[in-house]
Amino acid sequence: MKHLLVVFTGGTIGSKRQGAGIDVDQSGSYSLIEAYNNSPLYRDDVKLQAVQPLNLLSENITPDDWQALAAAIRGVDLDAYAGVIVTHGSDTLAYSAAMMGYLFADTRVPVVLTASNYPLSDERSNGLRNFTNAIDFIANDALPGVFALYENDQGEPLVYLGTRITQSVSFTDQFGSPYGIPYGTMVNRRFVWREHARNPKPETLTQPPVSRFEWEPQTLAIDTGIVYIKPYPGLNYSFYDFAAKPPKAVLHDLHHSGTACAIEEGPYSLPKFIARCLALGIDFYICPIRDRSDARYSSSLRLIEAGAIVIENMSIEAAVTKLMLAYGLYDTKDQAAAFVTGTSLYYERNEVQ
């Protein structure tokens, strides 16, 4: 008999329709286990035990909730379980998966986050199938690490490394991954690795991580002094007045070619904004970009020359959560930057292996 711990946090997979809307319901989460127990894919060699440290729609999640979730997982004897399933809302799943990937990079059992596109009572819902595939992934393959599992619109149950899933997009509700490469898929209830030079081999996951950091629930600090900015034509940086209350760091997104507005003067000039932030003692990062050598456009080079720190080969979701950890751990720019750009905690750097 394999024992699995189910950690409910709310989200659509644990919600019910409440009048005209959808909201979390205390009984909604446990309805998932009841639905699984009554499904034709139920397996009698698995026993599920459940805890519910959170009960909220994932758009409302905060770093305090991440700490509560991490404490709930750390607070149990994981040696007693074949694995952990975290049910989560889809809106912020990618951020939570990245954070749990960092915090549990050295886990020796599978920790799988999953979600649902609709409440379980809706016939369009993939929630029960995602939950069932998560159970099978743990029970049949027992691959250690932090993963996210979600069925796409083609009916493929895709498996992602926790730090390599990108936010679900509007209109299609589909998750992505850097380079468009998931870690694998579930086929006939078994995990099949997606062979690719950028995907670590499954046997690699059984080895101790190269980098790690020590943390305890009572001392874990996730810093929210990070401002994330996404570029668009006409972004006016004069509206960002940080003089009164400066953040610790700014993370500035880039267009697909690794660029943003690099004109020399005026309110739309990112180099001028970088200089203004640095003068206030605010660290400045840019992401995503494959690597510094990929900064082939003059506009990209101007951002680097202005003092921006490049976060290479990492998704925005992995970058912003790693920055929150870095500035919770360290007090200086050099230490934080070294942690973000110079370490790989859980395969967040999408490098060729």
Active site residues: 12
Q: Reduced to 3 states, what is the DSSP secondary structure of residue 4?
A: strand
- Rounded distance between C-alpha atoms, residue 182 and residue 157, angstroms: 10
- Rounded distance between C-alpha atoms, residue 312 and residue 305, angstroms: 16
Of 349, 353, 352, the C-alpha closest to 98 is 349
Contact 320, 228 (CB under 8 A): yes
Residues 6+ apart with CB under 8 A from 316: 166, 228, 251, 253, 287, 288
Residue 324 has phi, psi (to 5 degrees) of -60, -40
Q: Is the dihedral of CA 70, 76, 82, 86 positive or negative?
A: negative
- Please state whether beta strands 226-229 and 2-8 pair in parallel, antiparallel, or not at all (unpaired): unpaired
Distances 192 to 61, 175, 184, 198, 288 between C-alpha atoms, Å: 32, 19, 5, 16, 28
